[in-house]
Structure 1
Amino acid sequence: MSVYEETLNSLTTLGLSHIRDNIDQLLPGINGKEVSYLDFLHNIMNSELTARDKRARERRLSSAEFPYMRTPDDYDYAFNNSVTKRQINQLLDLAWIESAYNIIFLGPSGVGKTHLAVTLGIHAVEQGYKVTFVTMDKLIKLLKTEEISVRARQRLRKIMNSDLVIIDEIGFQPISRQESNLFFQVISNLYEQRSVIITSNKGFEEWAELLQDPVITTAILDRLTHHSEIFNMTGDSYRLKNRDTILKE
């Protein structure tokens, strides 16, 4: 076996897959310069670490299950001034995740609640946090099938172990009293342990009717709002204003 083949095998054994797969590109590029052995080692190890960081980010993004990709600059702050760019920029420092604070976006459909939630979630992933995005409807289905579905249990375990949980679209589907109790258990377990982003088309005054239990509603809201930033978003639907049409004037 040649030195080259032995080196590839050693890199495989050590788990240095990026260096192994790119050794032909790394060696000529570095050997063409007069660098010390230490600089050479430093450069190829940095290459491996950069590749690992990229793979880890891609895994976190895939695991989060965002419905789409968004950046802070994608949001039209001029269209809806219920939330300012300055406020979102402050949230992008992510200090609130370290303190297990919650972010709550309330308002009618189309004003950008989910857009901003996803924006913050993706930024958190890029900074190394574990994030899970789930709609309320999906969450309830997972909770109701937890006892009979291994996949549901695994998904719920991942939700509970996330640094940030985004629960989207509370209020779009009716919820039974039993389901409200299951939801309370989730919020209670996350309380002061994990950060939560909530989006809802219902104001808090409507939640008691939505959850069909005033006592449970109070308990849920107490935990969600104890450490939180609440945005009451108003305005027209961005999607309706910018809709595509097949009819031409």
Structure 2
Amino acid sequence: MTNTEYGHLLSNFEYLKFIGIQNHTEETIDFVNNFRYTDVQGLIKMTDYEEWYREANIIKATVIVGGFPHFKGLDDFDFQENINKDQIIDFITHRFIHENRNIAFMGSSGAGKTHLAASNGILFAKKQESHTTLNVTHLSLN
């Protein structure tokens, strides 16, 4: 591939807004050349990058629109000994939704209620499912 062809290719990716592909073009070309992948395998790798990029942007936008106070997940949560970890892990399966039940996180200030609620909400956002998170102030006003 000549420099002119390569520049044209990158220009096309930019025009088509293929940011994921554009960010990984050199890496993919090297991968194809070094591991003797076929052109089709290289194209699959490039379109996978684009799919991942777009999916990540959709998730990020959904989380931003959701107005979550942070982007922390359960991996960032400090499970104290008085918190039932198995029960919290069960919440992320969203089984309670299919059983038409609600969940409420109760505890003292700093226990992690907001963190758990936001983490659960972010999981909903990533799956592009709807949910409502309320705090006690909101409940008392309704």
Does TM, normalized by the shorter one, top 0.5? yes
Match of 1:167 among 126, 129, 134: 134
Aligned CA RMSD, in angstroms, stands at 3.0
Structure richer in helix, relative to its length: 2
How far apart in 2 are the matches of 1:6 and 1:116?
A: 48
Match of 1:58 in 2: 60
Tell me the equivalent position of 1:128.
127
TM-score by length of 1: 0.46
For the pair 1:75 / 2:78, whether they are aligned, the reply is: yes
The separation in 1 between residues aligned to 2:109 and 2:31, in whole angstroms, is 54
CA contact (8 A) 1:11 1:19 kept: yes
So what's the TM-score if we normalise by structure 2?
0.74
Equivalent position amino acid for 2:52 in 1 = T
Kept after mapping to 1: 8 A contact 2:32/2:38: no
**In structure 2, what residue type is equivalent to 1:77?**
Q
Question: How much identity, in percent, do the aligned residues show?
Answer: 22
Question: Does the C-alpha gap of structure 1 residues 97 and 4 become closer, same or farther in structure 2, counting only changes over 3 Å?
Answer: farther
Larger Rg: 1
Q: Show the counterpart of 2:116.
A: 116
Q: How many residues align?
A: 139
Greater strand fraction, Structure 1 or Structure 2 = 1
Q: List runs of 5+ in structure 2 lacking aligned partners.
A: none
**Partner Cα separation in structure 2 for residue 9 and residue 98 of structure 1:** 47
**Which residue, out of 24, 34, 38, partners 1:36?**
38
Change (3 A) 1:100 1:49: farther
Moved over 6 A (4+): none
Residues 121, 131 of structure 2: 8 Å contact kept: yes
Q: 1:90 maps to which residue?
A: 90
Does the 8 Å contact 1:121/1:166 carry over to 2? yes
